[in-house]
């Protein structure tokens, strides 16, 4: 291979094949850097050695595919290249064959040559030649292989579950697949193998796992594609500790094997309520401190109307010390920073600077001496600091200031490099109320066990019920979630009731699972972890598109294949469907037609 030729091969006759990465034509002597995924090696074409090969070297262009054979030799003294692993040697070409020609490239292939992501995706097959993509996808392979190896070692077996399953209205929007044999009926692509893996437990396959492809028809993000890969697993006869142990083992070992990143275990466990209180997030970035502080008690009797008003309405006041934040300008705080807080629903972002022992800023004059002193003591504020506040409904105040905390961390460089802080976030609420309708829904899914102490609250105060669900979070990224499941029909009925599902509805939607649980279900629990996100973290990328060979754009399209494509009426007719109206989408690139 190109990148593996070393001084040890001196005197050897070798054949290598690869792409022309670079060409330096001196008229007579011509150098070509030949590249494959292992690296590059310098080829020397000397008209005196082989006129035929040299003629090809003169003619060939970037990204042509060559096969050459020649003699490995040490480079002349002084002409070694210390920046290259193969820099001590070169291959003097004796024979050369052109295996493939390339037209002028629409984009550069080296990592240094930036290209618009749209162009990269349109020519993804060229983009994949980049060392960065090669590295990412090969690391992804090693990671998945390692997960499988460890799972196998721990007694798990990989079971394939169907990709055409019944559609359920719960959760994310389904991708649906019309059925030809059943006109007017549809299949759905799984959002996860949830139900099937639980049925595996009933089936006595006590340790199931799967590297599972999942689909969710929702808007795309940096860390979300509508087609993604999960490490999905389920275990019988376990409680939290066993599940945690297995995942810590699998993931820490796979990180070490695939990315050479040591991950110590066990991981800290942080209850949801504590995560919200300290970090203003259910996926806290714990690589740095600078935690939120609830300062409601200080302002309980304040004359500052903004704080007092929030407290009187049952909300809270949250504070964040921004160390060395005195350098922040009013424009910055009232522009960018306020925008961050507003995005998460905060009405405003209050702030003060501390300089020469006094507080400055618009709100300082509204705070009493006592309040200021209490703040100074509570937050440890010093000269040169800034302090930011949010006030209002506690959850909004926490999440918006939590977002400000992350913004501040980037602005002031609080985040230490090369750290991977894994943790469990536990005891998520079992239910949440839709703020618009007041309807109760499951936070995780309806089969999640309530915390054993909270059964009584299911009827009386459902939103206060904690669940036996848990997330893995690393560096502020949610990597996956899981729970212990309900297997007792009476308990399950109580949950459905709290969700406002009638017995008939529950039977219709989940009947087969409920039926299964009538025949000796083992207690079980499991987890699903996002493979794309884990690999993203492991290779240091900031979007999962960089670790997926052929991803979609944010608008859910593929510029390379020009898909999705308009459906042909004949295709629809075959499955018994007809369009109500052809909706055209896209401009220059889609030649869809109004119909």
Tokens (6 digits) for 358: 């006094």
Q: Which residue(s) pair with 39 in the sheet? A: 36
Which residue stretch of 256-264, 291-299, 490-498, 552-560 sits at the interface with RNA (rule: CB under 7 A)?
A: 552-560
Which residue stretch of 239-247, 367-375, 413-421, 579-587 sits at the interface with RNA (rule: CB under 7 A)?
A: 579-587
Which residue stretch of 22-30, 135-143, 247-255, 346-354 sits at the interface with RNA (rule: CB under 7 A)?
A: 22-30
CA 578, CA 567: separation in Å to the nearest integer? 10
Which residue stretch of 174-182, 216-224, 353-361, 375-383 sits at the interface with RNA (rule: CB under 7 A)?
A: 216-224
262 burial class (0-12, 13-18, 19+ CB within 10 angstroms)?
Answer: exposed
Contact map string, positions 69 to 88, toward RNA, x by CB under 7 A:
------xx-xxxx-xx--x-
Asked whether the CA dihedral 114, 120, 125, 126 is positive or negative, the reply is: negative
Q: Residue 299 or residue 470: which is nearer to RNA going by CB?
A: 470
Told to check if 364 binds RNA by CB under 7 A, we report no
Told to check if 26 binds RNA by CB under 7 A, we report yes
Told to check if 9 binds RNA by CB under 7 A, we report no
SS3 (DSSP) at 99: strand
Which residues in the 431-490 window bind RNA by CB under 7 A? 441-446
Q: Which one of residues 14, 65, 107, 205 is an interface residue with RNA (CB under 7 A)? A: 107
Cis bond leading into 158, ω under 30°?
no
Provide the minimum distance between the beta carbon of 106 and RNA in the complex, in angstroms, as a whole number.
Answer: 4
Q: Which one of residues 115, 364, 494, 514 is an interface residue with RNA (CB under 7 A)? A: 115
Q: Which one of residues 124, 216, 466, 524 is an interface residue with RNA (CB under 7 A)? A: 216
Q: Which of 491, 469, 488 is nearest to 478 (CA)?
A: 469
- Between CA 96 and CA 103, with CA 98 as vertex, the angle to 5 degrees is 140
Told to check if 419 binds RNA by CB under 7 A, we report no
Q: Residue 452 or residue 587: which is nearer to RNA going by CB?
A: 587
Q: Which of 45, 51, 17, 15 is nearest to 32 (CA)?
A: 45
Told to check if 117 binds RNA by CB under 7 A, we report yes
Q: Residue 124 or residue 278: which is nearer to RNA going by CB?
A: 124
**Which residues are CB-neighbours of 135 under 8 A, at least 6 positions away?**
539
CA atoms within 13 A on the CB side of 306: 17
Contact predicate 294/277, CB 8 Å: yes
Number of residues that bind RNA (CB under 7 A): 78
Q: Which one of residues 31, 366, 412, 414 is an interface residue with RNA (CB under 7 A)? A: 31
CA 144, CA 74: separation in Å to the nearest integer? 40
Told to check if 114 binds RNA by CB under 7 A, we report yes
Which residues in the 157-196 window bind RNA by CB under 7 A? 170-173, 191-192, 194
CA 302, CA 311: separation in Å to the nearest integer? 10
Which residue stretch of 232-240, 241-249, 366-374, 550-558 sits at the interface with RNA (rule: CB under 7 A)?
A: 550-558
Told to check if 508 binds RNA by CB under 7 A, we report no
Q: Residue 181 or residue 580: which is nearer to RNA going by CB?
A: 580
Q: Residue 61 or residue 135: which is nearer to RNA going by CB?
A: 61
CA atoms within 13 A on the CB side of 416: 9
**Which residues are CB-neighbours of 499 under 8 A, at least 6 positions away?**
431, 440, 441, 442, 446
Provide the minimum distance between the beta carbon of 589 and RNA in the complex, in angstroms, as a whole number.
Answer: 6
Q: Which one of residues 184, 314, 357, 587 is an interface residue with RNA (CB under 7 A)? A: 587
Task: Give, for 515, the enclosing helix (H) or strand (E).
Answer: helix 503-516
Q: Which one of residues 97, 152, 153, 219 is an interface residue with RNA (CB under 7 A)? A: 219
Which residues in the 223-252 window bind RNA by CB under 7 A? 223-224
Q: Residue 310 or residue 443: which is nearer to RNA going by CB?
A: 443
Q: Which one of residues 17, 29, 177, 326 is an interface residue with RNA (CB under 7 A)? A: 29
Asked whether the CA dihedral 484, 487, 493, 496 is positive or negative, the reply is: positive
SS3 (DSSP) at 549: coil
SS3 (DSSP) at 79: coil
Q: Which one of residues 13, 22, 330, 419 is an interface residue with RNA (CB under 7 A)? A: 22
**Which residues are CB-neighbours of 417 under 8 A, at least 6 positions away?**
none
Q: Which one of residues 162, 455, 585, 595 is an interface residue with RNA (CB under 7 A)? A: 585
Which residues in the 336-355 window bind RNA by CB under 7 A? 339, 343-345
Q: Residue 149 or residue 432: which is nearer to RNA going by CB?
A: 432
Cis bond leading into 289, ω under 30°?
no
568 phi/psi in degrees, rounded to 5: -80, 140
**89-100 and 39-45 beta bridge pairing:** parallel
Provide the minimum distance between the beta carbon of 444 and RNA in the complex, in angstroms, as a whole number.
Answer: 5
Q: Residue 259 or residue 447: which is nearer to RNA going by CB?
A: 447
CA 200, CA 205: separation in Å to the nearest integer? 5
Told to check if 61 binds RNA by CB under 7 A, we report yes
């Amino acid at each position: 291979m190109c990148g593996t030729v070393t001084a040890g091969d001196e005197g050897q006759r070798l054949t290598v094949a690869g792409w022309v990465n670079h060409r330096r034509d001196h008229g007579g002597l011509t150098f070509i850097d030949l590249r494959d995924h292992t690296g590059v090696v310098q080829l020397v074409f000397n008209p005196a050695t082989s006129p035929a090969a040299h003629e090809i070297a003169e003619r060939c262009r970037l990204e042509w595919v060559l096969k050459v054979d020649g003699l490995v030799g040490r480079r002349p003294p002084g002409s070694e290249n210390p920046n290259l692993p193969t820099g001590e040697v070169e291959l003097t070409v004796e024979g050369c064959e052109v295996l493939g020609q390339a037209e002028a490239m629409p984009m550069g292939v080296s990592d240094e040559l930036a290209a618009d992501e749209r162009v990269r995706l349109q020519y993804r097959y060229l983009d994949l030649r980049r060392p960065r993509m090669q590295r990412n996808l090969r690391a992804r392979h090693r990671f998945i292989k390692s997960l499988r190896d460890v799972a196998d070692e721990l007694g798990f077996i990989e079971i394939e579950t169907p990709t055409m399953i019944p559609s359920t209205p719960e959760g994310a929007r389904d991708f649906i697949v019309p059925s030809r044999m059943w006109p007017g009926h549809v299949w759905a692509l799984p959002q996860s193998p949830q139900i099937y893996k639980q049925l595996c437990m009933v089936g006595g396959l006590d340790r199931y796992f799967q590297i599972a492809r999942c689909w969710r028809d929702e808007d795309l993000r940096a860390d979300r594609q509508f087609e993604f890969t999960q490490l999905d697993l389920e275990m019988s006869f376990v409680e939290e500790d066993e599940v945690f142990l297995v995942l810590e083992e699998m993931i820490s070992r796979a990180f070490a094997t695939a990315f050479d990143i040591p991950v110590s275990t066990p991981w800290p466990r942080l209850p949801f309520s504590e995560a919200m209180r300290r970090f203003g997030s259910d996926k806290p970035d714990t690589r740095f401190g600078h935690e939120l502080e609830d300062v409601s008690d200080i302002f309980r009797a304040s004359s500052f109307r903004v704080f007092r008003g929030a407290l009187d309405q049952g909300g809270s006041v949250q504070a964040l010390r921004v160390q060395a934040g005195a350098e922040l300008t009013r424009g910055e705080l009232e522009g960018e920073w306020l925008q961050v807080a507003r995005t998460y629903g905060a009405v405003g972002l209050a702030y003060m600077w501390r300089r020469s022992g006094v507080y400055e800023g618009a709100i300082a004059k509204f705070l009493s001496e006592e309040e200021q002193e209490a703040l100074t003591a509570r937050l440890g504020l010093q000269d040169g600091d800034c302090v930011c506040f949010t006030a209002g409904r506690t959850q909004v105040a926490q999440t918006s200031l939590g977002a400000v905390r992350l913004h501040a961390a980037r602005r002031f460089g609080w985040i230490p490099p090369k750290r991977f802080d894994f943790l469990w976030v536990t005891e998520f609420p079992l239910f949440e109320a839709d703020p618009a309708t007041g309807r109760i829904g499951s936070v995780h899914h309806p089969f999640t066990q309530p915390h054993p102490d909270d059964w009584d609250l299911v009827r009386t105060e459902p939103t206060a019920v904690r669940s036996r669900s848990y997330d893995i979070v690393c560096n502020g990224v949610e990597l996956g979630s899981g729970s212990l499941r309900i297997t007792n029909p009476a308990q399950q009925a109580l949950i459905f009731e709290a969700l406002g599902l009638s017995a008939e509805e529950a039977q219709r939607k989940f009947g087969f699972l409920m039926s299964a649980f009538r025949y000796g279900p083992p207690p079980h629990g499991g987890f699903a972890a996002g493979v794309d996100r884990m690999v993203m973290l492991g290779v240091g990328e900031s979007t999962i598109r960089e670790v997926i060979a052929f991803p979609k754009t944010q608008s859910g399209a593929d510029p390379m294949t020009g898909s999705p494509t308009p459906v042909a009426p004949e295709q629809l007719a075959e499955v018994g469907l007809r369009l109500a109206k052809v909706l055209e989408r896209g401009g220059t690139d889609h030649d869809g037609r109004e119909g």
